[in-house]
């Protein structure tokens, strides 16, 4: 998103011989995703949607071997008995692989590469994510310690915007972030990052987001941040923000501001809350919802709203912000 991009720091994964033909794309700081769609080819995303790499060719056998190697680097096993596997590699690289014939058109591999340039609000403004007046609005959210929920589809820029907002938090405050995969990297001197852990092959040792939220509350956070709300942990976050933890934040997958209530109600149901209880908790806990989208000209903030409750149902009421 930024007009000036720096090279990514080296990763052990980059040096693996199995990845030699992917290295030029992994080294490109503009690339956020790589997709191997069987023999149909390699696609990359530089923030403008998936683009085919016309010069890249590989057969099904090559792609399968690559998928097995990538999953092995993450300490798991990919074979016909376990044909769908997701792993996290070093530096936050995420790999998901599905073998043929479950992936009917050939082994499919998705690689998510986090940004490492820690963009701040200045750079996002220069990239056009918001206007100068929009920047003033965001600065006020930080200064007023508003509880902010950032929404949008996959790849819309939710994590990027949240990292930039957290970079603007006064340096005397303590940030504690909780994520399934650690991607938030704010430019802040007092940032504690907690990451969920998957259970081992025996099903033991897993640490979920809900537990990490509870652990974070014992760490005296000045700003409590849940990188992505996707399950029952929403209840823990709402309870925390409702009991004096101002200045918190989180992200949520949603297609539009109008879809946010139904998404929150669905997550609330996973946590054992009905729609009315979820509405009351969200109205009390969340001050502002900021919605971002990936457009043809880049990632943009396209709407801002505030939660309201009408007839015991949650609504997001749009408000002017630019």
Residue 24 CB contacts under 8 Å (≥ 6 apart), including other chains: none
Tell me which residues of the chain have a pLDDT lower than 70: 1-15, 18, 91, 115-118, 200-201
**pTM assigned to the model:** 0.81
Output phi, psi for 180, to 5 deg. Answer: -70, -45
Does the N-terminal peptide bond of residue 101 adopt cis geometry, omega within 30 degrees of 0?
yes
Cα-only R_g, the chain: 20
DSSP state of 169: S
Residue 31 near residue 53 (C-beta atoms within 8 A): no
Query: What is the per-residue pLDDT for 4?
Result: 37
Query: What is the per-residue pLDDT for 5?
Result: 42
263-293 confidence digits (pLDDT tens): 999 999 999 999 999 999 999 999 999 999 9
CA distance 186 to 163: 5
Strands of 99-205, DSSP E: 108-112, 148-152, 175-179, 191-195
54-78 confidence digits (pLDDT tens): 888 888 998 999 999 999 988 888 9
Kind and range of the H or E run holding 264: helix 260-270
- Angle (nearest 5°) at CA 176 between 14 and 269: 95
- Angle (nearest 5°) at CA 126 between 122 and 127: 115
């Amino acid at each position: 998103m930024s007009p000036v991009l720096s090279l990514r720091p080296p990763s052990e994964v980059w040096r693996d011989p199995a990845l030699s033909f992917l290295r030029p794309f992994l080294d490109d700081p503009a690339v956020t995703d790589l997709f191997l769609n069987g023999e149909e080819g390699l696609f990359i995303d530089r923030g403008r949607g998936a683009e085919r790499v016309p010069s890249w060719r590989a057969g099904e056998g090559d792609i399968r071997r690559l998928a097995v190697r990538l999953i092995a680097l993450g300490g798991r096993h990919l074979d016909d008995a376990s044909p769908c596997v997701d792993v996290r590699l070093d530096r936050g690289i995420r790999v998901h692989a599905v073998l043929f014939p479950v992936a009917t058109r050939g082994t499919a591999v998705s690689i998510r590469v986090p940004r490492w340039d820690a963009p701040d609000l200045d750079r996002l403004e220069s990239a056009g994510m918001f206007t100068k007046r929009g920047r003033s609005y965001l600065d006020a959210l930080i200064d007023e310690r508003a509880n902010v929920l950032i929404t949008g589809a996959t790849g819309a820029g939710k994590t990027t915007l949240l990292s930039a907002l957290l970079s603007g938090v006064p340096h005397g405050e303590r940030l504690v972030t909780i994520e399934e995969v650690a991607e938030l990297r704010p430019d802040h001197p007092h940032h504690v990052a907690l990451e969920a852990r998957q259970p081992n092959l025996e099903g033991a040792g897993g640490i979920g987001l809900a537990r990490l939220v509870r652990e974070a509350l014992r760490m005296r956070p000045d700003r409590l941040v849940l990188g992505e709300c996707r399950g029952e942990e929403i209840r823990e976050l709402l309870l925390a923000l409702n009991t004096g933890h101002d200045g918190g934040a989180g992200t949520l997958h949603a297609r539009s501001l109008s879809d946010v209530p139904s998404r929150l109600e669905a997550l609330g149901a996973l946590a054992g809350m009905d729609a009315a209880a979820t509405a009351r908790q969200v109205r009390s806990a969340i001050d502002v919802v900021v919605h971002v989208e990936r457009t043809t000209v880049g990632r943009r903030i396209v709407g801002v709203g505030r939660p309201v409750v009408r007839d015991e149902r949650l609504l997001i009421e749009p408000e002017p912000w630019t």
